[in-house]
């Protein structure tokens, strides 16, 4: 079940994660002396000149449709540019005394329109938090060193923006806790800095239309003196401060499954020990599942979850695993010789049944040796799932029923997924594909206030109630 590999230790430092240089600088995508291609390979946007801090604003943005034979200048005095989802964008300082403004294109650079957003001074920044084919999430920094700003959501052109969340947390390192919960449509999670200077977690189930605090986990209680008891999630802000080793984890193949570090109380606590919490319905309800910080990974399209306890100085030899989405856990000793943990890795995606635990171990001669142990769970979970192991699940639904016509209706659509039963001990396998049935439903007035309510196939919705 476990296979160990060793090789010489070549570095004086051990990192628990691979650091990749971010495409975002000061909250914006920025490139220089190079190219970044859009969806069409024959269309290229280029930024010329160097990208030193005192020269940003001198960039020239050009476009080519013939693989570099000819170029058309889109705009000069560019501060930054890039793309996300279906949108190309750039920010520009039209003169040295003017604040920066944003321009977006949803037609691969054929035309750009100025975004209806508050302008930003040189002391402020924009940050595109997330984007897809239909909309953008944008953070606009507040003036001064406030560590918060305002979040906006766009229309499908990237021009008209609506205020989504005030006092959105953005720490001194310009890191946001904003997370797209990819296991369920329309769900986003982030933290805000309230007026009492406490950090509190909020979640949206309608693509930023409304936000609310997270429900208290079913199996965890607050101290008696706590008046408002909610779950609060640790994000990038906490990971940068080494409070937790991982941020929130979800995947589009593991429907409804969310794994995160958090604390229960009135607000996010730095003094309270973070634990691991799991939601199986996309963030509506939560359950405490592991004590203390852990490294975790989703395997077999959500049919298997693995975790290794985070030891700052100790050695590891045990991996925990769950076949019922974190309700129950079993332990497996994957080595007789423990080693200092450095990372938990599996192949991209969640279809694999194996995971590698790697780190280093001091040898008899005193020299450390890299160690990687690959654990294959196929030898443990041998049965392939059959039709009887699956059941239909209505996303965004209220288990109590309520209004049957409205139950599960979000932004004009109801979605029914085929999910593996929690009590079934079987593997989904590499051929597993998410099966979804989607139906249109009545939009509410709230849907129209925040968005053009869109049914994914017809891009239309029924009349509001």
pLDDT tens for residues 348-391? 889 999 999 999 988 777 788 899 999 999 988 999 999 999 99
* 365 contact partners, CB below 8 Å, separation of at least 6: none
pLDDT at 117: 84
Taking the domain 387-447, which CATH number applies? 2.10.70.80
pLDDT tens for residues 152-188? 999 988 899 999 999 999 876 677 999 999 999 999 9
Reported confidence tier of residue 405, pLDDT bands at 50, 70, 90: confident
- Token couple for 175: 């890191």
At residue 46, does pLDDT exceed 70? no
- Token couple for 321: 């695993």
Selection from 318, 285, 324 nearest residue 305 by Cα: 324
pLDDT at 395: 96
Share of the chain above pLDDT 70, in %: 82
Task: Please compute the mean of the pLDDT values over residues 122-138 and round it to a whole number.
Answer: 85
At residue 38, does pLDDT exceed 80? no
- Token couple for 334: 């994957």
Lowest mean pLDDT segment, chosen from 330-334, 440-444, 450-454: 450-454
Reported confidence tier of residue 7, pLDDT bands at 50, 70, 90: low
pLDDT at 44: 52
Domain ranges of the chain: 31-114, 121-292, 387-447
Q: What is the mean pLDDT of the chain?
A: 83
| DSSP states along 450-465 | HS----TTTS--BPP-
pLDDT at 200: 97
At residue 321, does pLDDT exceed 90? yes
Please answer whether residues 43 and 109 qualify as being in contact, where contact means their C-beta atoms are separated by less than 8 angstroms: yes
At residue 301, does pLDDT exceed 70? yes
At residue 10, does pLDDT exceed 70? no
376 against 54, higher pLDDT: 376
pTM score, whole prediction: 0.84
pLDDT at 81: 85
94 against 170, higher pLDDT: 170
| Backbone φ and ψ of 448, nearest 5° | -75, -30
pLDDT at 457: 32
Q: In 50-208, at which residue ranges do the beta strands (DSSP E only) sit?
A: 59-64, 72-84, 87-92, 101-105, 113-114, 126-131, 136-141, 148-154, 161-169, 179-180, 188-193, 199-204
């Amino acid at each position: 079940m476990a296979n160990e590999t060793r090789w010489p230790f070549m570095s004086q430092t051990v990192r628990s994660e691979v650091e990749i240089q971010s495409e975002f600088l000061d909250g914006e995508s920025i490139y220089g002396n190079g190219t970044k291609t859009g969806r069409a390979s024959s269309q290229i946007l280029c930024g010329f000149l160097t990208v030193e801090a005192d020269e940003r604003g001198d960039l020239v943005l050009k476009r080519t449709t013939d693989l570099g034979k000819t170029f058309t200048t889109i705009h000069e005095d560019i501060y930054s540019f890039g793309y996300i989802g279906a949108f190309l964008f750039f920010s520009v300082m039209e003169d040295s005394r003017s604040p920066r403004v944003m321009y977006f294109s949803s037609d691969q650079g054929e035309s750009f329109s100025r975004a209806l957003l508050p302008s930003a001074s040189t002391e402020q920044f924009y940050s595109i938090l997330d984007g897809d084919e239909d909309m953008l999430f944008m953070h606009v920094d507040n003036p001064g060193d406030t560590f918060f700003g305002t979040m906006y959501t766009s229309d499908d052109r990237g021009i008209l923006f609506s205020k989504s969340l005030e006092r959105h947390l953005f720490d001194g390192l310009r890191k946001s806790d904003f997370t797209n919960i990819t296991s369920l449509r329309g769900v986003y999670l982030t933290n805000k800095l309230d007026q009492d200077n406490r950090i509190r977690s909020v979640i949206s189930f309608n693509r930023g239309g409304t936000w609310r605090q997270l429900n208290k986990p079913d199996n965890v209680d607050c101290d008696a003196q706590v008046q408002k008891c909610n779950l609060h999630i640790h994000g990038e802000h906490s990971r940068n401060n080494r409070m937790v080793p991982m941020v929130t984890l979800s995947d589009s193949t593991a429907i409804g499954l969310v794994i995160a570090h958090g604390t229960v109380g009135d607000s996010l606590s730095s003094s309270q020990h973070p634990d691991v919490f799991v939601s199986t319905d996309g963030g509506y309800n939560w359950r405490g599942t592991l004590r203390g910080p852990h490294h975790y990974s989703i395997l077999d399209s959500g049919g298997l979850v693995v975790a290794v306890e985070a030891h700052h100085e100790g050695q590891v030899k045990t991996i925990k695993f769950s076949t019922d989405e974190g309700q129950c856990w079993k332990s497996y000793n994957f080595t007789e010789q423990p080693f200092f943990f450095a990372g938990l890795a599996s192949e991209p995606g969640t279809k694999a049944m194996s995971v590698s635990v790697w780190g280093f171990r001091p040898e008899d001669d005193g020299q450390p040796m890299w160690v990687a142990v690959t654990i294959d769970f196929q030898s443990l979970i041998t049965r392939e799932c059959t039709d009887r192991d699956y059941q239909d699940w209505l996303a965004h639904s209220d288990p109590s029923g309520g209004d049957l016509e409205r139950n599960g209706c979000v932004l004009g659509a109801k979605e029914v997924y085929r999910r593996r039963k929690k009590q079934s001990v079987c593997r989904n396998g590499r051929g597993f594909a998410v099966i979804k049935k989607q139906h249109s439903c009545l939009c509410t007035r709230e849907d129209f206030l925040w968005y053009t309510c869109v049914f994914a196939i017809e891009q239309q919705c029924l009349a509001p109630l």
